[in-house]
Amino acid sequence: MAGDLSERLVPDGLWALVESLLPKFTPRRQGGGTAPVDERAVFTAVVYVLT
């Protein structure tokens, strides 16, 4: 069910356009910082809140 909503809010064509605009995750050499997350899931959540 959640996958269906995600696919409706952010279809593959839209994700292809947006993905190149997002900065890539670079881990810190000394460690720490934030853990990498699924960028598409975060973008889908933003689109959900905005709609």
C-alpha span between 29 and 27 (Å, rounded):
6
**Residue in the block written with tokens 């000394």:** 30
Tens place of pLDDT per residue across the chain (51 aa):
457 888 899 999 999 999 999 988 888 888 777 778 888 999 999 999 998
Which pLDDT belongs to residue 14? 94
* Other Cβ atoms within 10 Å of 18 Cβ, number: 14
Which pLDDT belongs to residue 16? 94
Which pLDDT belongs to residue 26? 83
Q: 51 with 18: CB under 8 angstroms?
A: no
